[in-house]
């Protein structure tokens, strides 16, 4: 797995160099999989549009090396701690949704979230025995819903 992570770092470093970004790429293994961090003067470009470039890099890395990853691991591309901040926001959103569902008894449906964000909320609420989470809809209209069991 460490070799796969290093190969992903090399590919990503080549991509950002070809795009003429002033960025360095570092990698490390953690519980989620291979974390690749972008650092440098141009990190703000990677964060534009809610990190869409980070998401795009993850898709490219998964297409190139996804077969070499264990099923429970993934590639996470981050810049300036964006992913960690977003993860904390999603945990707070999950707690808020849980409160609302418990108070009202009505399902709570999130707005548009990518698959990684939906997964973070699913995971955050999976130990709540009185709640159930599921993704509803298809494609770009896919939403995460929290409801009482």
Q: What is the pLDDT of residues 23-42, one digit of tens each?
A: 999 999 988 889 999 999 99
- Asked if residue 6 and residue 46 are part of one domain, the reply reads yes
Residues 92 and 71 in one domain: no
| 21 three-class SS | coil
Please indicate, yes or no, whether residues 29 and 70 belong to a single structural domain of this protein.
yes
Same domain, 123 and 90: yes
- Condensed to tens digits (0 to 9), the pLDDT of residues 105-128 reads 999 999 988 888 898 999 999 999
- Asked if 37 and 102 sit in the same domain, the reply is no
What is the sign, positive or negative, of the torsion defined by CA atoms of 94, 58, 55, 24?
positive
The strand pair at 108-109 and 143-148 is best described as: antiparallel
Assess whether 68 and 92 both reside in one domain. no
Q: To the nearest 10°, the Cα dihedral for 149, 115, 79, 58?
A: 150
pLDDT band at 66 (very low <50, low <70, confident <90, very high): confident
pLDDT confidence of 1, banded at 50, 70, 90? low
Please give the mean pLDDT across all residues of the chain: 92
The whole domain housing 106 covers: 85-148
Q: What is the pLDDT of residues 2-20, one digit of tens each?
A: 899 999 999 999 999 999 9
Kindly give, in sequence order, each residue whose CB lies less than 8 Å from that of residue 71, ignoring residues fewer than 6 positions away: none
């Amino acid at each position: 797995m460490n070799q796969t992570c290093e190969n992903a770092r090399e590919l990503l470093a080549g991509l950002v160099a070809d795009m003429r970004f002033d960025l360095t790429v570092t990698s490390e293994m953690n519980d989620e999989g291979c974390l690749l961090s972008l650092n440098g003067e141009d990190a703000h470009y990677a964060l534009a549009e809610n990190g869409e470039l980070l998401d795009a890099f993850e898709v490219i890395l998964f297409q190139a090396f996804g077969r070499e990853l264990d099923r429970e691991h993934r590639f996470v591309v981050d810049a300036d701690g964006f992913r960690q901040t977003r993860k904390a926001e999603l945990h707070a959103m999950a707690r808020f949704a849980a409160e609302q569902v418990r108070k009202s008894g009505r399902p709570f449906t999130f707005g548009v979230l990518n698959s990684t964000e939906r997964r973070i909320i699913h995971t955050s609420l999976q130990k709540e025995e009185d709640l159930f989470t599921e993704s509803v809809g298809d494609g770009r209209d896919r939403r995460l819903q929290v409801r009482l069991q």
